[in-house]
Amino acid sequence: MDQRLFAAASAAMERAYAPYSKFQVGAAILAADGQIYSGCNVENAAYPVGTCAEAGAIAAMVCDGRQQIREVVVIGRGDAMCTPCGGCRQRIREFATPETKIHVCGPEGLRRTFTRDELLPESFGPENLS
């Protein structure tokens, strides 16, 4: 795991706005050209409008002109692994290859690394529409 990515995700987690769940999440993406993009969860008093950390990081990447994910770090506190939710697995899927690594971390460091294909096997993607 790229330590710069871990640092970016950790910093994002600290800035997360999660007054309702009290569960802060940070995400960082290493784009194919080496650029790093981060995001945090941003909750809302209208609960369903809240957004995930991964969604924020992906939006920042796309807005900056990159569309290829090389590696992802997701970080959250607590004993359980902060694996990406179902929706975020699909969001990552759009811009990653089956082998792209997703590093699930806690504040202490790496807990487990998954490939995109492990998190979302037999997935639906852009190829289905071509």
Q: β-strands 101-106, 109-115: how paired?
A: antiparallel
**43 near ligand THU (CB under 6 A):** yes
Q: Indicate left, alpha or beta for 109 from its phi (over 0: left) and psi (-120 to 50: alpha).
A: left
Cα-based angle 81, 58, 17 (whole degrees, multiple of 5): 60
Distance CA 24, CA 84 (A): 13
Distance CA 118, CA 63 (A): 27
Q: Which of 14, 43, 54, 118 is catalytic?
A: 54
Total residues in contact with ligand THU, by rule CB under 6 A: 13
The verdict on whether 54 is a catalytic residue reads: yes
Applying CB under 6 A, among 1, 10, 35, 50 the residue interacting with ligand THU is: 50
Output 31 or 53, the one with its CB closest to ligand THU: 53
Only one of the segments 16-24, 96-104, 107-115, 122-130 lies at the binding site for ligand THU (rule: CB under 6 A); that segment is 16-24
Output 36 or 54, the one with its CB closest to ligand THU: 54
Only one of the segments 4-12, 45-53, 102-110, 113-121 lies at the binding site for ligand THU (rule: CB under 6 A); that segment is 45-53
Question: What are the residue numbers of the active site?
Answer: 54
Interface residues toward ligand THU, by CB under 6 A: 18, 21, 23, 25, 41, 43, 50, 52-54, 84-85, 88
